[in-house]
Structure formats: structure tokens, C-alpha cells
Amino acid sequence: MTWFKRTLLIIGIILTLLIAAGTSYGYYVYQQAETTVEEMNTSFEEHDDEFEENGLPDSENNHTNRNEENDDDISDNQSEFALDEEPVTFLLTGIGDRPNDPGRADVIMAVSVNPKTDSTLMFNIPRDTLIEESAVVDSLRGQKINHTYATEGINGLQTTVENYLDHEFDFTIKANMNGFREIVDEIGPIEVNNDFAFSESDEVNDQTYDYDEGLIELDGERALHYVRMRKEDPRGDLGRNERQHQVMEALIEEGMSLQSLFQAGSIIEILGDNIETNMTFDEMQGVFNHHRSAAGNIETFELRGENEYQNGTYYYIISEEERERAGEELKRHQEGA
């Protein structure tokens, strides 16, 4: 999550609280949750069709899916995930809308949940990561990984990440960044411990947000800019990823409060307006019934790389060895090693 995993886990927290509550109010919101998740459920085909209708590249014949023997689209390859205690993986993406632009993937996160080891592994692929062989089309070679969404849609982004990690995800979740802000405002404010003071500018709204060092309180707008800041962070994307993890943990803590149970209806409505997933309601219930305790033991690691400017553009360069290490870490966690 970054901010995005929080939305997934908040869904799980809400379902868990409602199932446990057993009250008439809980049952009412449970029904609301079921309806909302059904609306969120998608194969992502309709979304990607919009890219073709708007005249953006149709590169179906150029895709280099790592499973070349399987000609099925990712949207038709939805996992037949058994609702049991088998490990499961998620691709979590957070899309930042831009005026007159399809948007960019501001957050790209791999999550592995293993109920057998009662643990969760999560790591970000920095949005500025330079991609070469993993690109789904030749035109994206030498580009940032987050640009894939703008031209190839969520299916193209998923294929790229699966190529990159040599791993096929069970489920994909796509969230709009506006939903993050609204959720924080609904259940917050939240508190995080900021490592150093900085300022972040919002050129669109002509606003500057100042963040003191130490324990700070964030509403939705300030939280959004807190997790987006990179330029003043000496660690660049890695520092930004760490702040996203901070906010996720704070949201989980707030989401588990009793007060949040009575805000569940509003939260579910926000999620329905801002999230799409290929998970069904039954699959979501199954995952959290069998896997939710693993959220209490979270492992993270960073993809190590170097910041470089090439032709006036900032890129994050990850070595082939480091890329392979990320895929092996994901495989290790799934196997319970």
C-alpha cells in the first residue's frame, strides 16, 4: 500500500468487524458492502477498451507475456483462487488522475499473504523504475514503469509487472488517489512520525504544505501530499515508499477502531467510487476469513537501485540481479521458506 494496500486491508477490516458484530446495523452495512464489491468487480476489459477508443496504441500483437504459451488475456485469466488457507498474491496499483491525461501509476505494489506462516510480504516497485525487457510493447522500452498504464491500461501494467517479477498475481486492485484522500478524511485524522521537516507544493491548487519533524497529524489532503513528496527526500522514491507504509499502518490502526465500524457505510461508499478489482465478494470474504491474521506480521524490503538523469528525465535504475532478487523474495514467501 502504500496508500493502496491500506484500502485493501481496510476492506478486510470492515468485513471482519461487520461479520463479528452480528448487529442489525452490521447486517445492513454487510449487505451494502456486498453490493459495493459487486460494483467494484471488473475484468478490467471495459477500462482498457477506453484506451483503444480514445486512439491510444492498440498493441495486442506486441505483448510479451512471460507465459507466451497462454494466449488468454489477463482479464480472462482471473485466478480460480480456492477460498482456503493457500498463499495469495495481489498487485496493488494507485492511479493519479491528471487533467486531459489517462493518469499514471503512482503506486505499484506487490503483496504476498501466506496464512501458513501467518505473515505478509509487501514491497513497492518505484514508479520511476526504468524498464527494458519487461515492457509489454517495444515503445515502452527505456521508459518509466508507471508510464505503462497511460498507454496500455491496467492489463498492460499487470503484464509488465508480472514479466518484471516472473510471477503471476492472483488478484489485481486499482485505486484512484482521490479515494485515499476521502478515506483519511472519513476515519482520520491520522498521526505519523515524520523523519524530517519538509514542504510540498501543489501547483494545480497553488498551495504549499509544511510538515514538521516528529509526530504530526494529517487530514486527507495533507496525507496525499505527504506520501507523494520525493524531491526533498534524500532517499527519493525509497523515502516516499516508506512514508506510504507509515500512512498505511496508521489507517489500519484507525480502521480497527470501534468508531470506524459506525463509519463503515461511508467508507464502503468511498471505496466503491474509487476502486476496481477482479476479486468477487466471496473471494474477498474468503481471503480475509483465512488470511487476515497474517496482516499483523508484515515484512517489507526495498528494491535497491540508483537515481539517474537521462536526457533531462529522472529514472530509478535497478540491476538485473536486484530484479531477480525481488522475484525470488516473492517466491520464497509464497513457499513459506
Q: What percent of the chain clears pLDDT 70, i.e. is strictly above it?
A: 72
Domains of the chain: 3-182+265-335 (3.30.420.590)
65-69, 85-89, 108-112, 128-132: least confidently modelled range: 65-69
Residue 232: pLDDT band with limits 50, 70, 90: confident
Is residue 132 pLDDT above 60, yes or no? yes
Q: Are β-strands 119-124 and 198-202 bridged in parallel, bridged antiparallel, or unpaired?
A: unpaired
φ, ψ of residue 4 in degrees (nearest 5): -85, -40
283 or 28, greater pLDDT: 283
The pLDDT tens digits of the residues spanning 187-201 come to: 788 999 999 999 998
117-126, 221-230, 234-243: least confidently modelled range: 234-243
* Mean pLDDT of the residues in the chain: 76
Residue 82: pLDDT band with limits 50, 70, 90: low
Instruction: State the sign of the Cα–Cα–Cα–Cα dihedral 324, 327, 331, 336.
Output: positive
Tell me, rounded to whole angstroms, the distance of Cα 132 from its chain centroid: 22
The mean pLDDT value for 118-131 works out to: 90
The pLDDT tens digits of the residues spanning 258-280 come to: 455 566 677 777 777 888 888 88
Residue 57: pLDDT band with limits 50, 70, 90: very low
* pLDDT for the residue numbered 18: 44
Q: Please give the Cα distance from 113 to 89 (Å, whole number).
A: 6
Residue 63: pLDDT band with limits 50, 70, 90: very low
3-state secondary structure string across the chain: CCHHHHHHHHHHHHHHHHHHHCCHHHHHHHHHHHHHHHHHECCCHHHHHHHHHCCCCCCHHHCCCCCCCCCCCHHHCCCCCCCCCCCEEEEEEEEEEECCEEEEEEEEEEEEEECCCCEEEEEECCCCEEECCCCCCHHHCCEECCHHHHHHHHHHHHHHHHHHHCCCCCEEEEEEHHHHHHHHHHHCCEEEEECCCEEEEECCCCEEEEECCEEEEECHHHHHHHHHCCCCCCCCHHHHHHHHHHHHHHHHHHHCCHHHHHCHHHHHHHHHHHEEECCCHHHHHHHHHHHHHHHHCEEECCCCCEEEEECCEEEEECCHHHHHHHHHHHHHHHHCC
Q: Check if the beta carbon of residue 265 is closer than 8 Å to that of residue 32.
A: yes
The pLDDT tens digits of the residues spanning 133-168 come to: 888 788 788 889 988 998 888 999 999 999 999 999
